[in-house]
Amino acid sequence: MKPIRILILTAILALITASFAAAHPVTPRVDRREARQHMRIHQGVKSGQLTRGEARRLRAGQAHVRRTERRAKADGRVTLRERARMERALDRQSRHIARLKHNGRSI
């Protein structure tokens, strides 16, 4: 009796896990780029290349990218158009980070 109960609980747990995985599509490339950009901002603040205001604006840009990603994942599926939109937002953010890090201002 007990092995059957364990088997049933394991099956239920597997179904629940699978449903969560299907509900939240993965975007590993976007996630990696977001993490690298976050590190670039952090490094710029640490080295003094970015002022406090510049870092605040860049973090707001990162928040915009995260909102775009959240909206794309909301229906449980990320289309090619949504991926392209996220990539463009990340490209703009990357250029913005580079421009502000190398503008000659420092703390």
Residues 107, 47 contacting (CB under 8 angstroms):
no
Stronger pLDDT, 74 or 7, i.e. the higher one: 74
CA distances from 71 to 7, 10, 18, 20, 59 (A): 37, 32, 21, 17, 18
Worst-scoring range by mean pLDDT, 6-10, 51-55, 93-97? 6-10
Question: Residue 97 in contact with residue 41, Cβ under 8 Å?
Answer: yes
What pLDDT does residue 107 have? 67
Rounded mean pLDDT, 42-62 = 94
What's the confidence (pLDDT) of residue 25?
78
pTM of the predicted model over 0.75: no
List pLDDT tens digits, range 14-50: 777 665 555 567 889 999 999 999 999 999 999 999 9
Q: Which amino acid is at 78?
A: V
Q: Report the C-alpha gap between 93 and 60 in whole angstroms.
A: 10
Q: Residue 94's pLDDT is what?
A: 97
Q: Tokens for 101?
A: 């890090």
User: For residue 83, what pLDDT band results from cuts at 50, 70 and 90?
Assistant: very high
